[in-house]
Amino acid sequence: MLIAEIRDSQGKVLGTITMTPKDFKTGSKGYFGLGKMPGPKGGERLQVQVQAVIIGSKADSKKQAE
C-alpha cells in the first residue's frame, strides 16, 4: 500500500489518497487510488485518481527485452 499526498502550490496538504496494489488491464503491475478532497479554491471539491506503474512490470515487455 502507498499513500499519495496532494498539495497546492503553496505546499498546503489538500488531502491524501491511499493506493492499493493493482494489476492493470495492460498487463503492468502497480498501485491505484481514488478519492475526493477539497480544492485549492474555497468551495471546490476535487475527484482525484492516482496511479503508479512499476516500470518493466508488464510480462510482454520482459519478452521484448530479450
- Residue that wins the pLDDT comparison between 65 and 14: 14
Dihedral sign (CA 9, 11, 16, 21): positive
Assess contact for 40 and 8: CB atoms under 8 A: yes
Going from N- to C-terminal start, the domains of the chain cover 2-65
Q: What is the pLDDT of residue 43?
A: 87
In 3D space, the residue among 25, 21, 16 whose CA is nearest the CA of residue 54 turns out to be 21
Please give the Cα distance from 36 to 64 (Å, whole number).
39
The letter for the amino acid at 35 is G
pLDDT, tens digit (0-9, with 9 covering 90-100), for 11-64: 999 999 999 999 999 999 999 999 999 998 888 999 999 999 999 998 765 555
Q: What is the pLDDT of residue 55?
A: 95
